[in-house]
Structure 1
């Protein structure tokens, strides 16, 4: 969908100068402009208020006496200052919000990268549950992709308990290597750390282990 405000925005590099240099006359239009760009009814309504305040000042100034002051003068002066100063600040804030939004749109997040970061975050959360509340972690079947479950642990694999076929599939290991790991854990009664896999399984290299280390957990058998 074409953005009707994009071309006009490029011609307005410093929005806040318009209400500032027009002594408040441009506050209403510029805040309405920014509100429309953000699709915000609140900002649009605020722009209408700034415009109304400037009209109050402009019209009221025609009926005041320059040689005397009174309640009307105070009202008119306040309306003008709010329209001018507050409108300028409001416009500057809108300008910053809109331009930061444009920068985010010009550098969209790679969905593949975002998904990988989400998996990392889920693994951290699942590991924290394993450490702080093992019973709950057991209920959630953390590290058991071989079992039906609803909790997403980010791809953790319990090396001590999943079948060798699951080790091979989930960790992208050769079937022979997965069988070596399964045989070694049977002999040892389970592993306690990734480094033990290197010691007892000749089929896995340090580089291979480094690629999967973050996904491994070692729960009691």
Structure 2
């Protein structure tokens, strides 16, 4: 008398349908339906470890498309944020010092606008003044004016800037010092605006 073959409940895979694999590698879906009848979310996140490791061509193309889009969006954001940061907001005109308060080669530390990092007003000669951000464009150490040699010096890493233009001359700095626009009227030196780093 032959032994009857075991049967499975409707919808359940029988013994002959199941590959000879480690039980931990294959798990039947909770509802017992075959994979093709499972909802999309379950197919996207399979409980079969082998299926989980499989990456279809469509999935790979979707991944590459999303990655490329994210890269392009990131580059666009970087370009826009750099442009926004580079454009200093308009600030009101402000008196910094009287002409007769500074001797030739004299320096005054001031804030413009109020509450901003320190800036330097330097008198070059009888009629010319320049003003710069005091922070070095390398790592923001304070620069020291040396009018006798026509330079500004950053003692932290020995960077040098031209005192008349703010352009880097030597050392690590690669960008000019941010420059404050000036106007001299009726014996008073006024700050009228700011040129960001990179403009000299």
TM over 0.5: no
TM-score by length of 1: 0.26
More helix by share: 1
TM-score by length of 2: 0.27
